[in-house]
Amino acid sequence: MDVSRRTTTSAGHLATAVHDASGAVLGGHVFVFGGGAATTVATVQEYSGGASHVVGALPQPRSDSSATVIGGTAYVVGGFDGRRMTRDVLATTDGMHFHAVAKLLVGVRYPAVVADGADLLVVGGALATTEGTVNGAQTTDIQQVDPRTGHVTVIGHVADPLAHAFGLTVDGVPCFAGGRVAGGAVRGIWALPHLRLLGRLPQAVSDAAAAVIGATTYVIGGEAAGPGEPVSSVSALRLS
């Protein structure tokens, strides 16, 4: 995506097609962790120069996870293995070798994950191993993970059970945005950990991606009303 020209071009293909994977950039290399294909997979793929290849595997199959990077270490959080929730928080510095640094108190799929200093904040998430957007199928928990000690605590709650939101950092402040509650997708952008409302997305959206370049946050794609209504737009946000 060339955001200055507002154009997109094909940059290549994955070696293995997957959905609901997570990913990270480590040392200039792009890694894709797990995801779903015919079944949930453990495959780790590296993308470079228009091509990708399989470089390793997670300790177990995992899809519906989220990932973020702190100081050269990527953390893979949440998801499930095709049968049950995977509570282990995985760490990797090279995208190929993984070890568990903590265990979530509440196993979730589709959480929003964002770095808060050296800690991870895990916001909401789906509780069921099948799709569901009604109260009780999602959690209000905000889990704080200290990957240095493995200590995990619930430090707060969002107003409504929430999943499919995404994490982002604005001026060094951890935030999350969008997602789905029982009434459908939402528009809010909240600062953590005190849940201050910073603004609203141009439209209600869940399952979007976010990337920050300079002072601008780009919100990419997502779903307006579930998988049957994908969003093709890219929105540019400037928040302070």
CA atoms within 13 A on the CB side of 30: 12
Model confidence pLDDT, tens digit, residues 197-206: 999 999 999 9
The pTM score is 0.94
CATH number of the domain enclosing 160: 2.120.10.80
Query: For the purposes of burial, counting CB atoms within 10 Å of the CB of 98, is it exposed (0-12), middle (13-18) or buried (19 or more)?
Result: buried
Q: Are residues 72 and 165 in the same domain?
A: no
Model confidence pLDDT, tens digit, residues 69-116: 999 999 999 999 999 999 999 999 999 999 999 999 999 999 999 999
Query: With bands split at pLDDT 50, 70 and 90, how would you rate the model's confidence at 38?
Result: confident
Q: Are residues 115 and 91 in the same domain?
A: no
Q: Are residues 175 and 98 in the same domain?
A: no
The domain containing residue 27 runs over which residues?
1-103
Q: Are residues 206 and 236 in the same domain?
A: yes
Q: Are residues 117 and 233 in the same domain?
A: yes
Domain end call among 103, 129, 164:
103
Domain end call among 61, 77, 103:
103
Q: Are residues 239 and 155 in the same domain?
A: yes
Nearest Cα to Cα of residue 190 among 181, 182, 199: 199
Give the contacts of 68 (CB within 8 A, at least 6 positions apart): 24, 74, 75, 77, 113, 114, 115, 120, 167
Domain end call among 58, 87, 103:
103
Structural domain count of the chain: 2
First to last CA, the chain: 24
- Is pLDDT above 80 for 29? yes
Query: 10 forms bridges with which residues in the sheet?
Result: none
Give the contacts of 37 (CB within 8 A, at least 6 positions apart): 16, 17, 18, 19
CB atoms within 10 A of CB 50: 9
Q: Are residues 147 and 212 in the same domain?
A: yes
Model confidence pLDDT, tens digit, residues 141-165: 999 999 999 999 999 999 999 999 9
Q: Are residues 116 and 98 in the same domain?
A: no
Nearest Cα to Cα of residue 179 among 194, 162, 159, 160: 162
Place of tokens 């300079």: 214
Q: Are residues 89 and 127 in the same domain?
A: no
